[in-house]
Chain A
Amino acid sequence: MTKETLEAPVREKRDRLVLRFAGDSGDGMQLTGNRFTNASAVIGNDLATFPDFPSEIRAPAGTLAGVSSFQVQIADWDILTPGDAPDILIAMNPAALKSNIDDLDPGGLLLVNGDAFVDRNLEKAGYTSNPLEDGSLDGYRTMVAPMEELTKLAVADTGVKGRATLRSKNFFALGLVSWIFNRPTQPVIDWVNDKFGPDSVIAKANIASLMAGYNFGITTEEFQHLYDIEPAKLDPGEYTNITGNQALAWGLIAGAQAANLPISYASYPITPASSILEELARHKNFGVRTLQVEDEIAAVGVAVGASFAGHLGMTGTSGPGLALKSETISLAFQVELPMVIIDVQRAGPSTGMPTKTEQADLLLAMYGRHGEAPLPIVAPATPAEAFSIAVEACRIAVTYMTPVIVLSDGYIANSSEPWRLPDLDELPAISHPFATADDSEFLPYSRDPETLARPWAIPGTAGLEHRIGGLEHADLTGNVSHDPLNHEHMTWLRAAKLDRIAAGIAPLEIDGPESGDLLVLGWGSTFAAIRAGTRNARREGYSVAHGHLRHIHPFAPNLATVFAGYEKVLVPELNSGQLAMMLRAKYLVDVISYPKIQGLPFKATEIRQKVIDTITGTGDSEAGQ
């Protein structure tokens, strides 16, 4: 460290950078990453994030199992993904270094909390010698800061005591990184004051550490190489930074409001869906009733009851909960009540890897019910898009009087991106088929000729008293019927709603040529990686296009025509090939499945490589997975 006046720092301009904050799960890496992201959003960078954390809340400190990380890509252009590999790794302890260093590109920047590299921690991480000293990091631009010691000094006057003194070391790191990447510290300070109260000891300690880190950067010779990233040239408009679960929750509120219906959202906590319930519970002033009930079966039961009573019943869960809800969803389907069911998928089966992402509940959503019970399924492609997908789910549910499944996943749920605020006045008005009494006999299973929706007669309406139930019922009257031909008729009638829904959805849009060597067809959170990967391949001259399904059931009606334009169709999915199976069954198209089942999203480079291999017929792409 030098106290002398330093020369003006070098400023290097970059169009994009990928940072990864890694530390122990007790080190506050998610918070640090989120604050850095926020500060980047404020100065107008485009960004995409990828939080990755262990499923144990308190995995043993300092171990590899306890490492938590947060990756963010910031750019001066419209990027899509949080980046495949970091350019900068911030490692708060040896375990974080060990489990992340292999992802750092050679020549990458490594920022390390030197104080954590003591024998005990090295041992816990499985190091036999200290990597800061044994030359194993020679390929990287390594910078070591004594973050703990400096944090202790920084907070000395704030009133924190004992072990709490080290808690704010993540703010020290954040301050230092803010200096190196030229981010404003004020948004962080405002947030801290807002969160903890400006007079609280903890706010003072965090701010003191933040500024100590920042000033350490200013005054230390090795931190005089700075990076600038200009604001991105995003479409004009007002932006906010939003996670998928937040977007879903807001979208549900917007959708219900468009339909002029109150929300009853019932749920049982489960990762990664809990934050939807948490978010909705904060907005009771919108008339949102949130019920945390005894289990997932109760949750979907409450939703059915609420919808019967004229609310928009909703429930959210992850795969294990969707399995539990199955029987009741069939009831909702059979009685033809609107409902929105959210499945934020995670890696299964069973408890699987609850904090890791996967898309393996597709066939559960599609077929996981007894009897003939086809349901509409929609899936957001990005965190921000979860807003409009939630509105779309409400629209389908209410317009066609049917339960709708939204398939999100852990990656979308926790990741964030800038969201250009839509014109809320332009949200489609959703008309709901509330029945009113007249002189004619009320027929609870009569239908709107266009949508096939049955009338929604809510308790409390005089003259429309009627009974619905899970037993098969006669067309029109709804009276219990075991007539064989009626059952067949009703089965087709209920299924025919899907055709009506299909007729109302937009055609699938294609990015790239409308005909060519290869169509890459994806769904859900793989969007960003596929879009970036196919564009990169196209820039290199390959004839490849990308289509992304938002409606999984029914499919966009033009899908068959789209297929006809391409030599081959590649379907990347975070499962063993479930969409591929559906496409083969429906269209008899010999799609090539590209499965990945690691609890991790696709990387753009993986997609690009697969595209090239598939087009050129090299690699193992034709091997059939």
Chain B
Amino acid sequence: MTDTRYERSDFQSDQEVRWCPGCGDYTILAAVQNFLASLDVDKEDHVFISGIGCASRFPYYVNTYGMHSIHGRAPAIATGVATANPDLTVWVVTGDGDALSIGGNHLIHAMRRNVNVKVLLFNNQIYGLTKGQYSPTSELGKRTKTSPMGSVDQPFNPVSLAIASEATFVARTIDMDRNHTTEMLQAAYEHNGAALIEIYQNCNVFNDKAFAQLTGREERDANRINLVPGRPIVFGANNEFAVILDTGGARVVATADVAAAAIHVHDPANPDPSAAFALSRLSHGPYGPTPVGVFRDVDRPSYEAMVKQQLVDAQAQKGPGDLSRLVRSVGTWTVD
């Protein structure tokens, strides 16, 4: 990185960071602070809005404007901030319970409206703050305090959900991979409109090693599929696996078994979300071959830009608001 105006320390608040030692949240915080320092954006123009949960403590630790709000509502509150002042860079920090359980409705609507907010969804597949209950991304059969016999709830796939919610930008990354996280932050920042990054985040207290298949030395090569725009999707220590799209879905095949031309070339900018959706279905949770990277990145006017444009158009058509004309607009009469 070349000369920048800021250091990471400019984005560190004076509050003691209080996550459990070893929590994945620390790495994400460092990645975000470093990323913010790398941008040529005035510090005061960033706003972090969070809900409730371990992840949602995030804004207290970032020295920008911020609001630690209430459980699940951050996307709605961020919509209010972004619409009021489109010049701000608005971030939402949320957990899997916050975003997908109590706040599921707000999340999908923020996505479909394409509000220019960057949603960092810290998915640890557990309720951390409330001490270890199963979450809407916990795997089927998960045993927790509230599911002693195993969870019977089918989990969400957050990437599939976001794509189905008309999101214009959807990505996935992993807390331990700082460089990849930064790349995803950069891509989300550059995207105009709603962006969701699912970040696999290790909760070493209540759900340790949930992402081992993607992070463990032994397993990761065989399981981590890097999505790179414009490139055929191959993975494995020696690129021995490939992804093809046929019969309406995506499949993993041995690279040797297919013609090079049959391998799917990743195109996140494809207006048709079908391929991105198919890729998101390669895994359901971080088990077996699982794509990370940008699934979808398409252009659509942002919500607040359209809201603002309507104000401009209304003024052009009717002139600036005139209260004394307004109160006379349905006809008046005079009593002497």
Question: Which A residues contact B (CB, under 8 angstroms)?
Answer: 38, 41-42, 44, 187, 231-242, 246, 250, 253-254, 257, 262, 264, 266, 283-289, 291, 293-295, 297-299, 301-311, 313, 327-328, 331, 335, 421, 424, 458-471, 479-480
Contact = CB atoms under 8 A, between A and B. Distances in A.
A231 B335 CA distance: 9
Contact of B68 (A41, A231, A253, A467): A467
Contacts of A294: 76, 105-106, 109
Nearest to A334: B70
Contact of B77 (A253, A288, A302, A459): A302
B270 interface: no
A238 B326 contact: no
A262 B42 CA distance: 24
Nearest to A330: B70
Interface string B56-84: 00011001111111100100111111111
A-side binding surface: helix, strand, loop or mixed? mixed
Contacts of A284: 310-311, 313-315
Contacts of A470: 52, 68-70
A293 B69 contact: no
B324 A424 contact: yes
A467 B106 contact: no
Contact of B88 (A253, A460, A480): A460
Given A459-B45, A467-B60, A305 B80 contact: yes
B70 A331 contact: yes
9 contacts: A294-B106, A301-B76, A302-B80, A309-B88, A331-B70, A459-B45, A459-B85, A464-B44, A469-B59
A17 B143 CA distance: 74
Contacts of B87: 460
A305 B310 contact: no
Given A238-B334, A465-B44, A467-B13, 19 more contacts: A38-B331, A250-B327, A254-B323, A283-B321, A284-B314, A286-B320, A289-B84, A293-B79, A294-B105, A299-B76, A301-B76, A305-B49, A308-B67, A311-B84, A462-B43, A467-B68, A468-B67, A471-B68, A480-B15
A392 B320 CA distance: 24
A460 B80 contact: no
B217 interface: no
A579 to B, nearest CB: 30
Nearest to B89: A459
B44 A239 contact: no
B21 interface: no
Given A289-B84, A294-B106, A238 B59 contact: no
Contacts of B194: none
Contacts of A236: 335-336
Nearest to A239: B333
A462 B42 contact: yes
Contact of A301 (B59, B63, B79, B88): B79
A301 B106 contact: yes
A421 B327 contact: yes
Contacts of B106: 294, 297-298, 301
Contacts of A235: 335
A253 B68 CA distance: 30
Contacts of A303: 80
Contact of B311 (A233, A287, A467): A287
B148 interface: no
B83 A459 contact: no
A289 B83 CA distance: 8
A41 B334 CA distance: 10
A295 B105 contact: yes
Contacts of B335: 44, 231-239
Contacts of B313: 284
Nearest to A299: B76
B330 interface: yes
A326 to B, nearest CB: 11
Most buried by A among B60, B77, B307, B319: B77
Contacts of A250: 323, 326-327
A306 B73 contact: no
B44 A469 contact: no
A207 B335 CA distance: 29
Contact of A285 (B44, B79, B105, B315): B315
B118 to A, nearest CB: 15
A275 to B, nearest CB: 13
A179 B105 CA distance: 55
A109 to B, nearest CB: 27
Most buried by A among B67, B76, B106, B320: B76
A309 B66 contact: no
A309 B85 contact: yes
Contacts of B331: 38, 41-42, 187, 240-241
Given A294-B106, A311-B84, A253 B65 contact: no
A306 B330 contact: no
Contacts of B49: 305
A298 B333 contact: no
Nearest to B67: A468
A616 to B, nearest CB: 40
Nearest to A304: B77
B67 A298 contact: no
A92 B331 CA distance: 29
Contact of A297 (B42, B73, B84): B73
B85 A310 contact: yes
Interface in B279-336: 307, 310-311, 313-315, 317-321, 323-324, 326-328, 330-336
Contacts of B37: none
B32 interface: no
A492 B109 CA distance: 38
A44 B76 contact: no
B321 A253 contact: yes
A289 B310 CA distance: 9
A178 B227 CA distance: 74
Contacts of A231: 335
Contacts of B85: 309-310, 458-460
Contacts of A424: 323-324, 327
B55 interface: no
A216 B327 CA distance: 37
Nearest to B321: A286
A361 B69 CA distance: 26
Contacts of B88: 309, 459-460
Contact of A479 (B15, B43, B44, B317): B15
A284 B59 CA distance: 33
Most buried by B among A234, A299, A421, A465: A465
Nearest to B72: A297
